[in-house]
Amino acid sequence: MRDTALADLRVVLLRGLAGALGNRGRADDAFLEDIAQESLVKILDHLDSFRGQSRFVSWAISIAVRSAISELRRRRWKDVSLEGAAEEDRASHDPSDDPLTRPQVLVERKAILQLLERLIENELTDKQRTALRAELGGMPLEEIARRTGSNRNAIYKLTHDARKRLKQALESAGYSAADVCAVFSC
């Protein structure tokens, strides 16, 4: 009976994963099967942690989705270092993207850019600076954690503390985040 239940759950996981990943074009059948099998093991290992706050299927699918997304992110970023993340993103930026920007706005942007660089350099710890730069380059927190021997939750806390410091320093320099947003058309 247990084998039947596991087989049924496997089918549910595969359908759910296909729904989550299929229209994003990010996974083939072999990948889905691997993740489903891996998730079945995790679900069985963590059955005691199911509290009934959500439906069992929702809880089980959330484990499968997390496994899938974690693996996809690992594959996407496996050849990119922390320092490389920011540089890779910078290389794709074309300064001439917005030819209609008024010269005055460009001058303001340059001044604020220099201020932000100075604040990042002076206000943050080395760990905060490294994590934030990688995050700005698009690297997922999970991947930052992997490279620094930490975990995603701790990296979120690290970057949250960094953001609070920068926000405060920006305000001390006479700028509100909202004002700066307006200059950069956020």
The residue ranges that bind other proteins (CB under 8 A) are: 12, 15-21, 23-24, 53-55, 57-59, 61-62, 64-66, 68-69, 86-87, 89-90, 93, 95, 109, 112-113, 116-117, 120, 132-133, 136-137, 140-142, 152-153, 156-157, 160, 163-164, 166-167, 170, 177-178, 180-181, 184-186
Q: For residues 11 and 32, is the Cβ–Cβ distance under 8 A?
A: no
Closest approach of other proteins to the CB of residue 184, in Å: 4
Q: Please say which residue, 42 or 116, places its beta carbon nearer to other proteins.
A: 116
Q: Minimum distance from CB of 157 to other proteins (Å)?
A: 6
Smallest distance from the beta carbon of 64 to other proteins, in angstroms? 8
For other proteins, give the closer residue by CB, 125 or 153.
153
DSSP 8-state secondary structure symbol assigned to residue 48 = G
**Choice between 20 and 31, CB closer to other proteins:** 20
- Do residues 24 and 72 touch, judged by C-beta distance below 8 A? no
Which string of b and e fits 131-164 if b means at least 16 CB within 10 Å? Answer: bbbbbebebbbbbbbbbbebeeebbeebbeebee
Q: At how many degrees (to 10) do helices 56-77 and 29-45 cross?
A: 120
Angle at 83 between CA 78 and CA 88, to 5 degrees: 75
Q: Which is nearer to other proteins, 6 or 151 (CB)?
A: 151
